[in-house]
Amino acid sequence: MIGIIGAGGHAKVITDIFRSQKPNERIVFFTMLPEAVDPYFLACEIEKDSEHVQMSYRSVLTGWHVAIGNPHIRRSKVEWLLRTGCPVITAVHVSSVLAVSSKLGVGSSVMAGSIVNPDAVVGRGCIINTAAGLDHDCQIGDYVNIGPGCRLAGNVSVGKLSELGAGAVVIPGIRIGKGCVIGAGTVVTRNLPDYSKAVGVPARVIGELPPSAD
């Protein structure tokens, strides 16, 4: 039996990954508002998202996955699970391609049609969303969100807790700092410092996020 923390849109996608691979696997969902879940989950087993309830399932769950889009909340949930000795698992769609020499951190997810090329390293608790591409030698920090259709050329690094919107493009060798937010469709052609908010073609920094975001 698998435990999924979260019962929103992202959790739907994660659920589909697990069900497509293990259709008979029992799944229990943990959410803050079990009485107000999406209709998609109405036929599912729903529990309150609390540490007490989750610990009561510890002996029966073979794996846990945090299916929450917000990277800061995702980090807190994953780190708590790891501290308490719960097995945190990855979610990898069968249509994605992971090079033999690539590395995927615990609790990360790789969605349908995504490609992670040779020697790319994806950190803990990351989301590589639908049809995204990470080319060779990319370094993706912990709890990063790579949006649908993003294209990261070779040797790109992205700092922890950063978010790249749908369709963002990063040219080879670029360094994006930690805690950054890159708008949808942005083309990043120069290095970006920590906590930058950037949009446009080419990318321009339009603001700075508070360091407390880390």
Return the pLDDT at 33: 77
* Any domain includes 211: no
- Name the amino acid, one letter, at 174: I
- Statement: the pTM of the whole predicted model exceeds 0.85: yes
- Contact between 139 and 159 (Cβ < 8 Å): no
Going residue by residue through the chain, which has 214 residues, state the pLDDT in tens, using 9 for 90 and above: 999 999 999 999 999 999 999 888 889 999 887 776 778 876 778 887 777 677 777 788 899 999 999 999 999 999 999 999 999 999 999 999 999 999 999 999 999 999 999 999 999 999 999 999 999 999 999 999 999 999 999 999 999 999 999 999 999 999 999 999 999 999 999 999 999 999 999 999 999 998 865 5
Domain range for 176: 92-201
Return the pLDDT at 42: 64
User: How far is residue 135's CA from residue 120's CA, in Å, rounded to a whole number?
Assistant: 7
- Contact between 199 and 213 (Cβ < 8 Å): no
Q: Which two tokens stand for residue 29?
A: 């969902």
Annotated active-site residue in 52, 72, 93, 136? 136
Last residue of a domain, one of 45, 62, 89: 89
Q: Which two tokens stand for residue 178?
A: 């930690």
Last residue of a domain, one of 89, 119, 140: 89
* Any domain includes 209: no
- Contact between 158 and 132 (Cβ < 8 Å): no
Return the pLDDT at 214: 57
- Count the domains in the chain: 2
CATH of the domain at 106: 2.160.10.10
* Any domain includes 126: yes
Whether 56 and 151 share a structural domain: no
Whether 8 and 39 share a structural domain: yes
* Any domain includes 213: no
Active site residue 52: no
- Contact between 66 and 81 (Cβ < 8 Å): yes
Return the pLDDT at 54: 78
User: How far is residue 36's CA from residue 34's CA, in Å, rounded to a whole number?
Assistant: 5
Give Cα 27 distance to the centre of its chain. 19
Return the pLDDT at 157: 99
Whether 72 and 120 share a structural domain: no
Q: Which residues, listed in sequence order, are joined to residue 93 by a DSSP beta bridge?
A: none
Angle at 78 between CA 73 and CA 80, to 5 degrees: 95
CATH of the domain at 66: 3.40.50.20
User: How far is residue 180's CA from residue 194's CA, in Å, rounded to a whole number?
Assistant: 6
